[in-house]
Structure 1
């Protein structure tokens, strides 16, 4: 992997969705207030004037200052990594890690893509489903590998259906992966669990609290991070041995941090991406 990081001919595949202003695929969407260069000159002049300097916007070259944006956004918008703290205050009796405490070593390694695009929206991915997917790849998980769950939901980004049309992980499936030594699990869906609507319906029908965020709450028993809202898994040339880096931004005592996962693929890599 070290060679791929510096190889000029390595292909870099962006596996993320960025922050957008008020997209219909986010129930708590970011708000992005953008300032162009003319507005930037006004604001910079105001800042300098506030410091006692006689500066006006027209004093800047071409009367243009610096462009920037003001953002109001939660760390769970866009592609992000959930820290163990997101799931609960403790993991198996020990304090749960916040996002700045997540070891960087967890966030890079070889990824395995498990394809569950055949499943119906609202279904849960079981241990048996995971074992079948691994058998199809003739692959045995190793400690430190990153598992990516492919649902195909990223194709719906920008539409309200993105929030509902995907299968989710089960508690048992989540614990199974972590027990194999996996520390980071990603998904190209809005959430790691089944959609909110499916959870709500099943809870109302059964009255069982286990229907509410079971995969997330598995993180109170086993320690792991999940990456939600990934994208472009169909662009990967193979399903195993995919070098990936996915370092989250640190937020003090944060439950999550934005992340831009990138796959590094050697130039002559081939294979079926379906």
Structure 2
């Protein structure tokens, strides 16, 4: 069994790469981290405060290593969206939170839908594109599948404007996958939907409120879990593997950062 890590690193340095217009969303990229190193004052002070000693009393001259996290969204980095993120009611019932989801629902047979040949930045991923990628994967979407969309966004870094101009999923595309049985929907892009400026422009031009965040809002019709900011999808076969999407157990939250790992038979 080969393990493939599909999780981005939560690196505070990435916060500095965000364009000014997105600085308020820095907590979605990475937390602020205060590092307390065992050989430095921070780690030594923490040790001494907790154990009632002085720096000169430290057994090896060092304290302990610790970190303090702040300004971190529950949607930080690679994360699982619970249905609550899309709305308070899902298919007529109260929306589930992260702590309502069982682990068995988050370890699923998976397939990669590679739409790189057709998808364009800032434009919808169409049903036709999805169907062509399903055909290339060699099997249909089955009930309980995790479907991972490879958009090609891995070729950009956060200091490239195109990183934030991802191809996005629409209501129609999302429902196309969930109606076939997909229960986990993943993407290598920073968002499942079209970029916010694109959705805003469409709304202002047409006045149709259904165009706002329509990929996520499709979950209110058919429940599924959306996983964003995946990486390393190019290391996977198109089918024949499982993925574990295991979020931090944050009580009653709409999302949580996750360690996402693919289990690929040798």
- TM-score scaled by length of structure 2: 0.89
2:61 to 39, 60, 63: 63
SS state at 1:133 partner: helix
Quote the residue 2:10 is aligned against: 19
The Cα offsets for residues 157-199 of structure 1, whole Å up to 9 and x where unpaired, read as 3324254232111111111211222110100000000111211
CA contact (8 A) 1:170 1:214 kept: yes
1:30-109 paired onto structure 2 within 5 Å: 30-37=31-38, 38=40, 39-49=42-52, 55-72=53-70, 73-109=72-108
Instruction: Determine the C-alpha separation between the residues in 2 that align with 1:162 and 1:36.
Output: 36
1:1-274 paired onto structure 2 within 5 Å: 10-23=1-14, 24-25=17-18, 27-29=25-27, 30-37=31-38, 38=40, 39-49=42-52, 55-72=53-70, 73-118=72-117, 119-161=119-161, 163-236=163-236, 238-267=237-266
Could you list the structure 1 runs, at least 4 aligned residues long, displaced by more than 6 angstroms after superposition. none
CA contact (8 A) 1:164 1:197 kept: no
Quote the residue 1:272 is aligned against: none
Shift of residue 200, structure 1, vs aligned partner: 1.7
Instruction: Determine the C-alpha separation between the residues in 1 that align with 2:66 and 2:154.
Output: 28
Structure 2, unmatched stretches of 5+, are none
Shift of residue 19, structure 1, vs aligned partner: 1.2
Instruction: Determine the C-alpha separation between the residues in 2 that align with 1:15 and 1:129.
Output: 23
Shift of residue 69, structure 1, vs aligned partner: 0.9
Structure 1, unmatched stretches of 5+, are 1-9, 50-54, 268-274
Instruction: Determine the C-alpha separation between the residues in 1 that align with 2:55 and 2:206.
Output: 63
Which region of structure 1 is more displaced relative to structure 2, 40-49 or 171-180?
40-49
CA contact (8 A) 1:35 1:68 kept: yes
> CA RMSD for the aligned pairs?
1.6
- TM-score scaled by length of structure 1: 0.87
